[in-house]
Amino acid sequence: MRFSWTRALIVARREFLTTVKRKAFLFTLIAVPLYFGGIMTLASRGEMSGRRDSMRAFTRLGVVDSSGLYADATREITSRLAVDPTGAPGRLETYRTAVVFYPDQARLERALRSGEIAQGLTISADYLATGATRRYARSTGAFNSSSAVRPIERWLARNLLAGLADSLRIERATRTGGGMDLYTLGKDDRFEIKDDRREMLEFMVPFMVAILLGVCIMTGGQYLLQGVSEEKESRILESLLCTLSPEELLAGKLVGLGGVGFALVAVWIGAGAVLSAPMLAMAKLPLSPALLALAVAYFVLGYLFFASIMTGIGAVTNNMREAQQFSMMFSFANLLPIIVLTQILARPDGPLAVALSLFPFTAATGMMLRLGAPSSTVPAWQIAVSLALLAVSGWLVLRGAARVFRIGLLMTGKPPNLPEIWRWVRAGR
C-alpha cells in the first residue's frame, strides 16, 4: 500500500490547529510558566524576606555573662545582610542590635518573656575553656533561626580579642574564610576559580532544557494519547480509516501533536529567554549550539519513542481513564532523572547517571542533566550510543505501535493482555 504524506500532513495540520485552539492548550501555555515562576519567586522572596524580618526584629540582645570576659564589651552589634537573593555582591542592609546585660538567668528570661529583648545569650563561667553558650528566643521560624547566630558569634570574637590585637587582625579573625577562593580542575584540564553563582547559572540552562524536554515529550505524548482515546471513544475512526490508512493517521498525529509540544516549549523558552536576558547577558553565559543541537535531537527521538508508546496505549484501551492508567508508568520513567537529580549531580559520570543517560526511557532527560552537571565530562561515544539506542528503540516501538494501532483502533471491550499485544505486533492485520 502506498503511504501518502499529503494525507498524513492534512491530519497533522488538523491535529495541530485543533489542539492549539483549545482553551486547555492556552491555559497550559500561560498558566504553567506563571505557576512555576510564581512558586519560585515566592520561595526565594519568602526566604529572603524571612531573614530580613528576623534581623529587623533582632533589636535587643540580653546577655548573662558568667565568665566575666565581656564586662567591657561593646553594647551594640552591627550586622549587614545582602539584599540580592542570588547572593550577588550588591546592596547591603545594615541592622543594629542593642546589647543589654542582666545579672542572672531569671531576669533575662523575664525580659525575654515580656518582649523587652528579642533574644537572650548566656555565657558560661568556663567559656574560655569550653566555648559553651546558650541562646534563648521566644520562638523561631523553621529555617530563619540562624539569622542572628553569625552577628552574635562575631560580637563574641571581637570583644574577646579587644585589646589583645589591632582592629584589622580582629576583623580577619572573625572572617577567616572571606577571601579563600576555591580552584578546581576544569573541563579543559586547567584549574579555574570555582564560581558557585556562575556554576549555578550554567547548570540552569541544561537543567531547564532537560525539564522542558521531559515536559515537552510528555505533553506531546499526552495529547496523542488523548487524541487517539477520544477518536476511539467517539467512534470516528472507522469512517476515517476508510479514507486514509492507519499509518497515515498515525504519522499525521505524531507530526501534528509533536508540533504542539514543540510549539509549547518554544514559546516557554522564548519567553524565558526574553525575561531572563539581562541576567544571562550579565553572566555572559554562552548558549552552546552543540547543546541546542543535542536538545533538538533528544527531543525528536525521545518524542518519537514516547509518542509511539502512547499511541499504542491509546489504541488498545477503551477510554481516556484506562489509557492514563497505563501511560502513568511511562511518564514516570521519563521524569525519573529529574527525581534523582541530586545523585546525578553528585556523580555525573557514575553508574546510575550513565545508565539513565543510555536507557531509552530516561535517555533524553538523563543525558541533558549529565551534560549540565558542573563536574561532568560526558564522552562523545556515550552521547552517540545514547542517541543510537534511542533512535533504534524509537523505530522499533514505532513499528510495533503502528501494528497495534491498526488492530487496536477498531477493537472494543476488555483491553488486550501483553501476550495478545505481542501477537498483534508480530502479526500484521
Binding-site member from 37, 235, 355, 422 for other proteins (CB under 8 A): 235
Q: Does 20 bind other proteins (CB under 8 A)?
A: no
Smallest distance, other proteins to C-beta of residue 401, A:
18
- Count of H-run helices and E-run strands, the chain: 17, 7
Strand-pairing partners, residue 419, are none
Smallest distance, other proteins to C-beta of residue 1, A:
5
Encoded amino acid at 369, one letter: L
Give me the residue label for grid cell 533589636. 59
> Is the CB of 90 or the CB of 428 nearer to other proteins?
428
> Is the CB of 12 or the CB of 55 nearer to other proteins?
12
Strand-pairing partners, residue 191, are 185
Q: Does 18 bind other proteins (CB under 8 A)?
A: yes
- Identify each DSSP E strand in 177-249 by its residue range: 183-185, 191-193
Give me the residue label for grid cell 472494543. 412
List the interface residues with other proteins, window 135-154 (CB under 8 A).
none
Binding-site member from 91, 414, 426, 429 for other proteins (CB under 8 A): 429
3-state helix, strand, coil in the chain (%, to 5): 65, 10, 25
Q: Considering only 8-16, 38-46, 62-70, 140-148, which stretch makes contact with other proteins by CB under 8 A?
A: 8-16
Compute the distance between CA of residue 42 and CA of residue 253 in angstroms, rounded to an integer.
39
Give me 216's grid cell. 515537552
Of residues 377, 353, 367, the one with CA closest to residue 189: 377
Smallest distance, other proteins to C-beta of residue 240, A:
8
Q: Considering only 140-148, 232-240, 279-287, 336-344, which stretch makes contact with other proteins by CB under 8 A?
A: 232-240
Binding-site member from 111, 204, 241, 283 for other proteins (CB under 8 A): 241
Binding-site member from 179, 239, 381, 418 for other proteins (CB under 8 A): 239
Three-class DSSP category at 75? coil
Cα→Cα distances 387→129, 171, 250, 347, Å? 62, 55, 23, 21
Q: Considering only 11-19, 85-93, 275-283, 298-306, which stretch makes contact with other proteins by CB under 8 A?
A: 11-19
Total interface residues for other proteins by CB under 8 A? 25
> Is the CB of 3 or the CB of 183 nearer to other proteins?
3
> Is the CB of 114 or the CB of 234 nearer to other proteins?
234
Classify strands 119-123 and 60-65 as parallel, antiparallel or unpaired.
Answer: parallel
Binding site for other proteins (CB under 8 A): 1-4, 7, 10-11, 14, 18, 22, 231, 234-236, 238-245, 410, 428-429
